[in-house]
């Protein structure tokens, strides 16, 4: 599983899988490589990621000279504390989790991709399902492929969903309506969805903001472990004028 993730991140960041084992900072020019995860990128792009050893810095050509000046020779924690860093997250992988017990009083079911469209009309589940849901035949870049529901008296109370981010990685999102929180639903649904994804031969992963402590607790309770840390954008106003062509 780890090798599959490293291989995919190397495609995303335009580096070698071996770079993750190096020491220090590795600089890479951002490229729209085939099979990269289809997250949006502007003309000016910057992201920085570590799995515990090297810090991989991926940026468009116009930003690299500035970033090398600012980051070269820095320790990992120094690099992620630079003033232009903006937006940081922690990403988790399953750690051979045993199935959690479901909280009582709810009904649970899996919903396959072909039956997900009606769920887009429900409010409060924008993290669990990510496609716009404008039409049943819509073909989004990151389609929702599998959902697990918890229902109370026929009403959806919580939802964990998986989107296809690339050939091997399915990302999990979770939402619980306010009145049903702190009952263990988030961890249980995330856990059971991750186990189901593994059964289907794919790699489930879960991401959350660096300051989102409740979401991080959900990941730990679900049997997931921190696997990588990244920042996905920076503040460069006044440093450069226009992106280079």
**What integer best gives the mean pLDDT of the chain?**
93
**How far is it, in rounded angstroms, from Cα 221 to Cα 146?**
21
The residue among 146, 148, 117 whose CA lies nearest residue 134 is: 117
Mean pLDDT of 31-49: 92
Kindly state whether residues 16 and 75 are assigned to the same domain.
yes
Q: What is the DSSP letter of 201?
A: T
Find the CATH number of the domain harbouring 153: 3.40.630.30
Q: Is residue 28 part of a domain?
A: yes
Kindly state whether residues 56 and 135 are assigned to the same domain.
no
**How far is it, in rounded angstroms, from Cα 223 to Cα 188?**
10
Kindly state whether residues 65 and 123 are assigned to the same domain.
no
Kindly state whether residues 127 and 193 are assigned to the same domain.
yes
The yes-or-no verdict on residue 241 having pLDDT over 70 is no
pLDDT of residue 11: 97
The yes-or-no verdict on residue 72 having pLDDT over 90 is yes
pTM score, whole prediction: 0.92
Kindly state whether residues 82 and 180 are assigned to the same domain.
no
Burial 188-217 (b: 16+ CB within 10 A, else e): bbbbbbbbbbbeeebbbbbbbeeeeeebbe
Kindly state whether residues 135 and 33 are assigned to the same domain.
no
Q: Extract the tokens encoding 25.
A: 């900072």
Q: Could you tell me how many residues make up the chain?
A: 245
**How far is it, in rounded angstroms, from Cα 48 to Cα 84?**
12
Tell me how far CA of residue 164 lies from CA of 5, 53, 73, 232, in angstroms.
14, 28, 37, 19
Q: Is residue 100 part of a domain?
A: no
Summarize pLDDT for 164-205 with one digit per residue, the tens: 999 999 999 999 999 999 999 999 999 999 999 999 999 999
- Name the residue range of residue 64's domain: 2-92+230-234
- Domains of the chain: total: 2
């Amino acid at each position: 599983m780890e090798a599959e993730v490293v291989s995919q991140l190397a495609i995303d960041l335009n580096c070698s899988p071996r770079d993750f084992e190096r020491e220090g900072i590795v600089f890479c020019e951002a490229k729209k490589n085939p099979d990269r995860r289809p997250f949006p990128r502007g003309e000016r792009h910057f992201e920085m990621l570590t799995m515990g050893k090297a810090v991989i810095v991926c940026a468009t050509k116009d930003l690299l000279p500035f970033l090398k000046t600012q980051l070269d020779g820095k320790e990992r924690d120094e690099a992620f504390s630079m003033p232009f860093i903006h937006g940081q997250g922690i990403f988790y992988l399953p750690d051979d989790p045993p199935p959690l017990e479901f909280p009582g009083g709810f009904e649970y079911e899996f919903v396959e991709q072909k039956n997900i469209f009606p769920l887009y009309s429900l409010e409060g589940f924008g993290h669990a399902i990510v496609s716009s849901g404008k039409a049943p035949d819509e073909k989004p870049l990151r389609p929702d492929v599998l959902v697990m529901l918890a229902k109370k008296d026929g009403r959806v109370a919580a939802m964990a969903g998986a989107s296809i981010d690339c050939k091997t990685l399915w990302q999990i999102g979770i939402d619980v309506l306010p009145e049903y929180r702190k009952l263990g639903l988030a961890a249980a649904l995330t856990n059971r969805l991750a186990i189901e994804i593994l059964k289907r031969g794919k790699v489930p992963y879960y991401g959350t903001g660096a300051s989102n402590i409740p979401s991080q607790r959900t990941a730990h309770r679900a049997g997931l472990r921190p696997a990588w840390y990244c920042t996905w954008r920076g503040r460069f106003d006044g440093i450069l004028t226009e992106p280079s062509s």
